[in-house]
């Protein structure tokens, strides 16, 4: 989709459909065809959020979009409004859509209108022989009294990165193998990429990661992406993603119901990959090292078994209690690798525990970390992007739960108590003294239910990570 900003009035553009928003208890700011306020006065157009009315005038379509109360209107509500409009615009055959930015709102709203439109217009059709949803929206114009080209262009770039992550998520596991994910990383612009295969992972001492990969004939890949702009100093931001491209549970096999969704177990890695690419394309002044552990988790005669003991990159021995607790094994070695590469701030994203979905549903991701200030920065980035996360605690009693009977630690516990926190306590063992934040995105990675990402892969985390990198150079001083 082509996206551009303009200071022209909407009727002066080449749009075939113009959107004018209306707030509660306010009239239509610009009634260009002289028919929009009449729609409001008659009750056909309503000001409640997601309420739409369509009319025709001067050989164009006009959509009056309800925005709700002005005091409650924020970028997230702008995304929702834009997504709702995008759906209707497609139904009526719109090719070129123009949004008039509401008066007296910040530039973040202009960007959010772009995000909501681009994200809602996404469809995964790689394996569809026909598209039954009608013609796609070709162009979006954002009209404002002042120049909003920067937030508009940047929002379009980030939204496209989110949609690229969704492509990676939605691809079937027989196509989106660890090897293919690594090849996609090599296509990113402005970064350097290093990839280790099975032999390289084992040679690097990553016994936890290698153990997960043993059950599959597909080669695992350790993907390292560096973005190191010239003349940029400051702490190195480490982004770590779990990319289990299919998770059967291994020997501790999952129930068959919904197992097809386990292609989404690489969602954290997809988000880290595309966020790093977007950071580079935006030219943000922050140094980044991204580490993605990609593998399948399958049962076979070679697969790791309950009761096995493996040794992680740090030398820590791990007793395998449940082979379906594989993500923490992959992340353990990836976190340690990021630190070895110099990361001074860490964020990991992983579809780590079903327990987090029980706790938060689809509204929040779980946030657990070792540093108060760093977790606050991560949470604030989520607030600004609408990718919400809620902090859960660490505690020595949770840490005690992962003590191993025969090894230093165990990868799972027999009880189901505090499952998401106990998993995070496991990861914490591999982060040393580096400020670290863990995002458990098992509830938000797919079927999010938002107007702009209702079904399938959501690309959750791309916008949060880009915003984190944008704010304070991505790696603020911590106190």
Same domain flag for 176 and 108:
no
* Same domain flag for 19 and 125: yes
CB atoms inside a 10 Å sphere around CB 362: 16
User: What is the rounded CA–CA span in Å between residue 53 and residue 137?
Assistant: 19
Question: Does the pLDDT at position 126 exceed 70?
Answer: yes
Concatenate the DSSP letters of all residues of 99-154 into one string: EEPPTT--HHHHHHHHHHHHHHT----TT-S---S-PPP-EEEEE-SS--HHHHHH
Q: Is the confidence at residue 91, as pLDDT, over 80? A: yes
At residue 213, the pLDDT reads 98
In a domain, 287, yes or no: yes
- 148: in domain: no
Q: Can you tell me which residue has the tokens 């995008």?
A: 86
201-235 exposure pattern, b = at least 16 Cβ within 10 A, e = fewer: bbebbbbbbbbbbbbbebbbbbbbbbbeeeeeebb
Same domain membership, residue 282 and residue 178? yes
Please indicate, yes or no, whether residues 196 and 253 belong to a single structural domain of this protein.
yes
Over residues 236-256, the pLDDT tens digits come to 999 999 999 999 999 999 999
Q: Stretch 278-283: mean pLDDT, rounded?
A: 98
The answer to whether residue 150 is domain-embedded is no
**Structure-block tokens of residue 478:** 């911590």
227 assigned to some structural domain? yes
Q: CA angle at residue 378 from 343 to 86, to 5 degrees?
A: 120
Instruction: Report residue 464 CA to chain centroid gap.
Output: 7
What pLDDT is recorded for position 178?
98
pLDDT at 146: 96
| Cα distance from N-terminal residue to C-terminal residue, the chain | 43
Residue 33 lies in a domain: yes
**What is the rounded average pLDDT for all residues in the chain?**
96
Contact 456, 119 (CB under 8 A): no
User: Which residues is 348 bridged to in the sheet?
Assistant: 240, 438
Q: Is the pLDDT of residue 441 over 70?
A: yes
Whole-model pTM? 0.96
Residue 91 belongs to a domain with what CATH number?
A: 3.40.220.10
Pick the closest to residue 64 from 113, 29, 13, 111 (CA basis).
29
Q: What is the pLDDT of residue 32?
A: 86
- Residue 307, pLDDT > 60, answer yes
The first and second tokens of residue 42, run together, are 């008659």
Is 441 among the domain residues? Answer: yes
pLDDT above 80 for 478: no
User: Per-residue pLDDT for 473 more than 80?
Assistant: no
The catalytic residue among 214, 328, 429, 470 is 328
Q: Which of 81, 113, 143 is the last residue of a domain?
A: 143
User: Within a domain: residue 479?
Assistant: no
Helix (H) or strand (E) holding 410: strand 409-410
Which pLDDT band, with edges at 50, 70 and 90, does 135 fall under? confident
Q: Do 164 and 109 share a structural domain?
A: no
Q: Where are the alpha helices (DSSP H) in 254-341?
A: 267-282, 327-340
- What residue ranges in 154-236 does DSSP mark as E strands? 192-196, 221-227
* 295 and 367 fall within a common domain: yes
What pLDDT does residue 479 have? 58
Are 371 and 478 spatial neighbours (Cβ–Cβ below 8 Å)? yes
Please tell me whether residues 264 and 392 are part of one structural domain.
yes
Q: What is the pLDDT of residues 178-191, one digit of tens each?
A: 999 999 999 999 99
User: To 5 degrees, how large is the angle CA 192–CA 460–CA 112?
Assistant: 100
Does the active-site annotation cover 2? Answer: no
Residue 431 has pLDDT above 80, yes or no: yes
What pLDDT does 99 receive? 98
Angle between helices 372-385 and 462-470 (to 10 degrees): 120
What was the pLDDT predicted at 416?
Answer: 83
Q: Is the pLDDT of residue 437 over 90?
A: yes
Who's near 261: CB < 8 A, 6+ residues apart?
446
Given the residues 46, 50, 51, 254, the one annotated as active site:
254
Residue 474 has pLDDT above 60, yes or no: no
Cross-sheet strand order for the sheet of 237-247: 192-196, 221-227, 288-297, 237-247, 345-350, 436-440, 365-369, 389-391
For residue 358, what is the domain's CATH number?
3.40.630.10
Residue 44 has pLDDT above 90, yes or no: yes
- Please say which residue of 94, 111, 143 terminates a domain: 143
Give the residue with greater pLDDT, 35 vs 200.
Answer: 200
Residue 236 lies in a domain: yes
| Alpha-carbon distances of 70 from 24, 47, 48, 305, 385, rounded to whole Å | 7, 10, 11, 57, 19
CB atoms within 10 A of CB 470: 18
Q: How many CB atoms lie within 10 A of CB 387?
A: 26
Q: Cα angle at 455 between 126 and 459, to 5 degrees?
A: 75
* Domain identity same for 129 and 173: no
Residue 51, judged by CB atoms within 10 A of its CB (0-12, 13-18, 19+), counts as middle
Both 77 and 205 in one domain: the answer is: no
Number of compact structural domains in the chain: 2
Q: How far apart are CA 250 and CA 389, in angstroms?
A: 29
pLDDT of residue 129: 87
Domain extent, residue 36, equals: 2-143
**Cβ-contact 279, 286 below 8 angstroms:** yes
Structure tokens at 479: 């106190």
For residue 389, what pLDDT band results from cuts at 50, 70 and 90?
Answer: very high
Mean pLDDT across the stretch 6-34?
94
d(CA 208, CA 310): 6
Overall average pLDDT of the 286-301 stretch:
98
Q: CA angle 160-116-46, nearest 5°?
A: 165
Do 60 and 202 fall into the same domain? no
304 and 171 within one domain: yes
Mean pLDDT on 385-412: 97
328 is catalytic: yes
Contact 384, 470 (CB under 8 A): no
Q: Do 39 and 186 have their domain in common? A: no
Is pLDDT at 131 greater than 80 in this prediction?
no
How remote is the C-alpha of 286 from its chain's centroid?
19
């Amino acid at each position: 989709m082509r996206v551009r900003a303009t200071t022209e009035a909407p009727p002066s553009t080449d749009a075939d459909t113009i959107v004018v928003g209306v707030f509660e208890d306010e009239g239509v700011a610009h009634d260009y065809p002289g028919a929009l306020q009449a729609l409001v006065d008659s009750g056909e157009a309503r000001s409640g959020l997601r309420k739409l009315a369509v009319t025709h005038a001067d050989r164009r379509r006009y959509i009056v979009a309800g925005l709700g109360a002005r005091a409650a209107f924020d970028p997230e509500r702008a995304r929702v409004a834009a997504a709702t409009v995008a759906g209707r615009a497609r139904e009526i055959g719109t090719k070129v859509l123009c949004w008039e930015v509401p008066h007296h709102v910040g530039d973040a709203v202009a960007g959010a209108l772009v995000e909501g439109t681009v994200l809602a217009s996404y469809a995964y059709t790689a394996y569809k022989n026909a598209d039954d949803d009608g013609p796609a929206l070709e162009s979006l114009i954002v009209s404002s009294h002042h120049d909003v080209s920067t937030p508009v262009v940047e929002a379009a770039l980030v939204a496209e990165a989110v949609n690229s992550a969704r492509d990676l998520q939605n691809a079937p596991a027989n196509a989106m193998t660890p090897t293919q994910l690594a090849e996609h990383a090599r296509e990113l612009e402005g970064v350097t990429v290093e990839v280790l295969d099975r032999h390289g992972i084992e040679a690097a001492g990553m016994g936890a990661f290698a153990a997960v990969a043993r059950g599959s004939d597909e080669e695992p890949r350790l993907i390292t992406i560096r973005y190191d702009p010239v003349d940029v100093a400051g702490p190195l931001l480490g982004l770590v993603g779990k990319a289990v491209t299919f998770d059967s549970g291994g020997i501790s096999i999952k129930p068959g119901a919904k197992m097809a969704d386990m292609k989404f177990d690489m969602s954290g890695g997809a988000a880290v990959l595309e966020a790093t690419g977007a950071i580079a394309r935006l030219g943000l002044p922050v140094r980044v090292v991204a580490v993605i552990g990609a593998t399948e988790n399958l049962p076979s005669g070679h697969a790791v078994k309950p009761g096995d003991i493996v040794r992680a990159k740090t030398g820590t021995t791990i007793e395998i209690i449940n082979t379906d607790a594989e993500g923490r094994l992959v992340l353990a070695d990836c976190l340690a690798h990021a630190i070895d590469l110099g990361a001074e701030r860490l964020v990991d994203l992983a579809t780590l525990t079903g327990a987090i979905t029980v706790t938060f549903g689809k509204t929040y991701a779980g946030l657990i970390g070792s540093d108060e200030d760093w977790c606050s920065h991560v949470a604030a980035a989520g607030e600004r992007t609408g990718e919400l996360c809620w902090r859960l605690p660490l505690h020595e009693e949770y840490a005690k739960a992962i003590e191993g009977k025969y090894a230093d630690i165990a990868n799972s516990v027999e009880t189901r108590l505090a499952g998401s926190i106990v998993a995070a306590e496991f990861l914490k063992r591999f982060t040393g003294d580096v400020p670290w934040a863990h995002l458990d995105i098992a509830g938000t990675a797919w079927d999010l239910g938002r107007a702009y990402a209702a079904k399938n892969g959501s690309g959750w985390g791309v916008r949060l990570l880009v915003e984190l990198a944008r704010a304070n150079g991505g790696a603020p001083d911590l106190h």
